[in-house]
Amino acid sequence: MLLVKEMKELEGFKWHSLWTSHIGCIKGCTDYLDLGISLPWIYGGTGHAFVMNIHEELCPSGPTAWGALMLFELAPNLGYKTDGVLSFKEGKGGCTEWEDAPKAAWDFVKKKLDANIPVYGWELEIPEFYCIHGYDETGYYYNGCLAPGGKGPAPWQELGQTEIGVLDVTAIHPGEHAPPEKVVKDAFQKALWFAENPEGFVYPKYASGLKAYDLWMKFLDGSLEYHEGHAHGIGYNAEVWHECRKYAVDFLYEAKDKVGQHLELFDQAIEHYSTVRDNMECFAKLYPFVTRQQEQLNDPEHRAEGVKYLEAARDAEEKGLAVLKKIVAVL
């Protein structure tokens, strides 16, 4: 007699394909709940569109290795709430003891999916975020980077049991959104705060804000012996941070329309962040992730052209941050 495997699945729940997989998963959750929140509004309203986090050797961990608490703190402004299970193998203040975390996450995910509440999690496959669209008695079914059509089951006991040592699952619940003025002001305040390299949120050997650009340009000064890992890291960072600034501009346009006042300041911010976006796009084309080549880093002329784009982006970002500060003051 064949046993029928029972599986719970949220039909139609899938990530939104983005370089920034965390935002892609949040967008997938809000779409599943039919909350009607635009992608730029999520990207900018969480502050993520204005973030930059760079490792001194352009490690591909830069886009994810930072204290992203703002994404959860700002969520209620956008019309959704979060809860979850977070644990660190090395004990960095997570909510659950490491030994208990796999079972706690398993129970949490099953409870949420049974209630048709979408959940996403960290490193179901590679070090990215994934939508968890189902489960059976063995483990999780997920979709996301390298798994666009879905994969599984990933044994529930193995979640987080990697060299990185982080277990993180988050559920998204419907909520009430805040007025656009509050969404914008709070997001800009968090972006400005993070750009100042707050201790405990920006980790050793990483930098945010204008210092991130400085680390990036120093990386290209030719003092390192570049290898394939560096080519991987610089391409990935280029794609992620270009995407962030693209949605920063889109968010500013949406914010200008929704707030409906201080239009001159919003126009200034749009101008500056459009310059950042355009230069980051040029840089990403210079160091593409998919077709990356180590020779691009070994070539001093190639590196010099990259520095030119980063310098222009940094100058514009400095002006843009100053305008965000002015917008915060008048809202």
* Coil, strand or helix at 7: strand
Tell whether 157 is covered by a domain.
yes
State whether 282 and 317 are in the same domain: yes
Res 7: pLDDT? 87
- Residues whose CB is less than 8 angstroms from the CB of residue 159 and which lie 6 or more positions away in sequence, other chains included: 101, 102, 105, 106, 121, 123, 124, 139, 140, 167, 169
State whether 127 and 170 are in the same domain: yes
Mean pLDDT of 258-276: 98
State whether 133 and 204 are in the same domain: no
State whether 163 and 195 are in the same domain: no
Res 321: pLDDT? 98
Residues 269/46/279/224 CA torsion (nearest 10 deg): 130
State whether 293 and 315 are in the same domain: yes
Rounded to two decimals, the pTM is 0.96
pLDDT at 3 over 50: no
Domain termination site, one of 118, 147, 174: 174
Res 6: pLDDT? 75
Total domains present in the chain? 2
Mean pLDDT of 31-46: 98
Res 5: pLDDT? 57
Tell whether 54 is covered by a domain.
no
State whether 202 and 324 are in the same domain: yes
pLDDT at 2 over 60: no
Question: What is the torsional sign of CA 228, 231, 234, 239?
Answer: negative
Percent residues over pLDDT 90 in the chain = 95
Mean pLDDT of 223-236: 95
Domain termination site, one of 174, 199, 234: 174
pLDDT at 1 over 80: no
Q: Decide: 135 and 113 in contact? Cβ < 8 Å.
A: yes
Domain termination site, one of 156, 174, 192: 174
pLDDT at 326 over 50: yes
As a whole number of angstroms, the distance between CA 279 and CA 66 comes to: 24
Mean pLDDT of 159-179: 96
Tell whether 75 is covered by a domain.
no
Tell whether 155 is covered by a domain.
yes
Structure tokens at 157: 């006991």
Q: Decide: 12 and 114 in contact? Cβ < 8 Å.
A: no
pLDDT at 20 over 80: yes
Q: Decide: 13 and 122 in contact? Cβ < 8 Å.
A: no
Tell whether 1 is covered by a domain.
no
Tell whether 50 is covered by a domain.
no
Mean pLDDT of 262-286: 98
Lowest model confidence (mean pLDDT) among 43-57, 78-92, 191-205, 207-221: 78-92
As a whole number of angstroms, the distance between CA 323 and CA 272 comes to: 9
What residues make up the domain containing 246?
180-330
State whether 128 and 168 are in the same domain: yes
Mean pLDDT of 64-91: 95
Mean pLDDT of 150-177: 96
State whether 152 and 260 are in the same domain: no
Mean pLDDT of 214-228: 96
Mean pLDDT of 188-198: 98
Tell whether 2 is covered by a domain.
no
State whether 88 and 235 are in the same domain: no
Helix (H) or strand (E) holding 31: helix 21-32
pLDDT at 170 over 90: yes
State whether 234 and 287 are in the same domain: yes
Q: Strand runs (DSSP E) across 25-91, as ranges? A: 53-55, 80-88
Percent residues over pLDDT 70 in the chain = 98
Lowest model confidence (mean pLDDT) among 1-5, 59-63, 129-133, 284-288: 1-5
Tell whether 71 is covered by a domain.
no
The burial class, CB within 10 Å (0-12 / 13-18 / 19+), for 93 is exposed
State whether 296 and 322 are in the same domain: yes
As a whole number of angstroms, the distance between CA 252 and CA 74 comes to: 17
Q: Whole-number mean pLDDT of the chain?
A: 96
pLDDT band of 98, cuts 50, 70, 90: confident
State whether 136 and 110 are in the same domain: yes
